[in-house]
Chains A and B, each alone.
Chain A
Amino acid sequence: MDLYAEHILDHYHHPLGKGKLATPTVVHEERNESCGDDLAIELTVEGDIIMAVRWQGEGCAVSQAAMSMLSEKLEHMRTEDAAALKPNDIREMLRVPIGPRRTKCALLSLHALKNALLKLHHKPSQSWAETLGE
C-alpha cells in the first residue's frame, strides 16, 4: 500500500487530539532536527491512567498523522502500557509501509510519548536508539 494512503492523508489534513490541555500533568516536546518535524505532547494522568491527550506540532504528513492516530489510541490507556509501546505497534497502527527513510518521521510521536512518560516519573529522557529498540 502507498505511504500516502487515504487514511494517512485524512489524519494529516484533519488531525485528532490537536490542541492544548488546560492543566496537563506533563508536557514534552521532541524534534527531528534533520527534517524539522516537531511534536509537543500533553498528557493528563490520573493515578496510572492517561485521561487526556493533546498535542501540537508541525512537519511532514507521516509524523503528524502518526501523532494523530496515536493520540486516539492513548486515551484511557494505563501509563505502564503506553510506556511499553514498541515501534512495531506504531507500524501496525499506521497500516502503511514505513521504509528506513521515514522511520524517524513515523516514530517521532512514540519518542515524544516515551520521554513524556519518563518526565512524568522524573526520569531522564531516552535516546532515539532506545526508542528504536536498537
Chain B
Amino acid sequence: MSMDTEVIRRQFPFLTARGSPCAYLDSAATAQKPQSVIDAMRQQEEMHTANVHRGMYPLAEEATAIYEAARQSVQSFLGAQAPQEIIFTKNCTEAVNLVAKSWGKANLRKGDAVVLSPLEHHSAIVPWMQLAEHSEITLAWVNMDASCAYTVESLRTTLDTVQAKLVCITGQSNVVGVRPPLKESIEVAHNAGALVLVDAAQLCVHHPVNVRELGCDFLAFSGHKLYGPTGIGVLYGRRELLEGMSPFLTGGSMIREVTRKGFSSAELPQKFEAGTPPITQAVGLAAAIKWLGQYPWGEIEAHERTLIETTFAGLQSIPRLRILGSDDPGAISGCMSFVVEGVHPHDLTAILGDQGFCLRGGHHCAQPLHEHLGVPASTRISFGMYNTIAEVQAFLPALEKAIHLLSKS
C-alpha cells in the first residue's frame, strides 16, 4: 500500500477525534496508536482471555498460540533466526537490564570495560553503572565532537585503550537524531573481542532493522514507540548467548521444576519470561508491526525526511536558536533538539503546549549527552509517520512567538 499521510492520520483515533487541532510532535517519547492496534488488543481481552502456557482447555491453547504468533511477528520484523531469540520484557529498559543483570553479572570481571557513547539513553547507561558499583568493571566512553558524529575510528581508539567486553550502542539518538554506523561499529567491536548490544528503540521506528545483517549480539526496543502499546519491550539475543545465561527474574513460568532443594530453568524463551507475560500487549505489538508493514520503508523514510528538512531549515532561520548536534539535516532522523539563548525549554514547551503543540523539553533521559553539548536541557521535536508539513509550518511561527514572549529584551 502506498503511503498517504491523510489516510494514515485517519487511522489514528487521537488525530481525528479531538475537537481542537493538536500537533503531536513527541513521538520519540511515545507514539500514537492506530485503530487496528487498539482493536486487536480489545479483541484479545474480550474474546481470547486465558493465561498462556498453562491450561489444557481450548481457550488457553488459543491464547498461547496467539501469544507465540506475536513472538514470531517480532522475529520476522527483526530478521532473527528463531522465535526463541525473542524475549518479551516490560519495556526497552528492562531488556537492557536483563542483559546487564544476567550476562553482565556472570561474564564481566574486574578490569573489563563496557563501552558507551554520550549518545546513549539513560536506560543503556545506568544498568552498567549499577553493575560497576559491585564489580569493579569500568565504563569507557567513545569520544565525539559537538556534531555528535559517532565514528568507527573513535570507537576503535576507545577499544584499543580498554579491555572491552561489551559495546552498548544506540541505533539512533533520541535527542539529536544522528545514527552511528552500526554495521561497521559492530564489526570493529567483534574484532576487539567485545559483544554488541544495540538500543534500537528509536531506530526501528524509522528504518528497517535486521539483526542478522547487522550481526549484533543483543538488540532491544519497546512497543510503544513503534505505534504499539506500553508495557511491552523486546530483547533479541543470539540463541547461544541466551542459552548460556541465567534467568533474570524468577518465579512462575520460567521454571522446569521446583523442589524443596531448588529449581531448574525452563527452555528459551520462557526462561526469561517470569510470571504471566504481557499477553495483550504482545498482541498489540504484533498488530503494530503488521500495520507498519503495510507501508514501504522507502516511502516512510522519504516522508519523514521532508519533515526533518523543513523543520531544520525553519529552525535555522530563528535568531538565538541553536540546533544541537549535526549541522547536516541529512544526518538527522526522527527527531532534533534545540536551545534558545535565555529561554528555558520548560517555559517554551509549556506555552507551545497550551497552543496545542506537544513537544518535550528537558534532558530527554540523556544527561551525559547534554553535558557533552554544554547545555542543561533542550527542546525536542520528534516525528511519526502521521506528522505533516502543515503541522511544521504552523509550529514554526508559534515557536517564534513563544520565544518572543519569553525573551528578556
Contacts and interface: CB of A to CB of B under 8 A. Distances in A.
The finding on whether chains A and B are genuine partners in a shared complex, rather than unrelated, reads yes
A23 interface: no
A121 interface: no
A55 B44 CA distance: 58
A3 B344 CA distance: 15
Given A35-B377, A36-B377, A62 B408 contact: no
Contact of A4 (B345, B347, B361): B347
B347 A60 contact: yes
A61 B408 contact: no
B362 A102 contact: no
B281 to A, nearest CB: 27
Given A4-B351, A36-B376, A105 B346 contact: yes
B279 to A, nearest CB: 32
A122 interface: no
Interface in A61-92: 61-62
Interface residues of B, number: 15
Interface string B302-338: 0000000000000000000000000000000000000
Given A35-B362, A59-B344, A102 B377 contact: no
Nearest to A13: B408
A28 B86 CA distance: 51
Contacts of A105: 346
**Most central of A35, A102, A105 by chain B CB within 10 Å:** A35
- Interface residues on chain A, size class: 10 to 19
A56 to B, nearest CB: 16
B358 to A, nearest CB: 13
B389 interface: no
B209 interface: no
A9 interface: yes
Contacts of A102: 346, 350
Contacts of B361: 35
A101 interface: yes
Contacts of A62: 346-347
A35 B351 contact: no
Nearest to A2: B354
B344 A61 contact: yes
B394 interface: no
B406 A61 contact: yes
Contact of B350 (A3, A12, A13, A36): A3
B8 interface: no
Interface in B340-380: 344-347, 350-351, 354, 361-363, 376-377
A35 to B, nearest CB: 5
Nearest to B377: A36
Interface in B379-409: 405-406, 408
B340 to A, nearest CB: 12
Interface string B84-95: 000000000000
A3 B406 CA distance: 12
B404 to A, nearest CB: 11
A107 to B, nearest CB: 14
Nearest to B408: A13
A30 B361 CA distance: 21
Contacts of B408: 12-13
Interface in A99-114: 101-102, 105
A4 B376 CA distance: 22
Interface in A7-30: 9, 12-13
Interface in A30-44: 34-37
B362 A4 contact: no
A35 B346 contact: yes
B344 A60 contact: yes
Interface string B12-24: 0000000000000
B377 A4 contact: no
15 contacts: A4-B406, A9-B406, A12-B408, A34-B362, A34-B363, A35-B344, A35-B346, A35-B361, A35-B377, A36-B363, A59-B344, A61-B406, A62-B346, A102-B346, A105-B346
Interface of A: 2-4, 9, 12-13, 34-37, 59-62, 101-102, 105
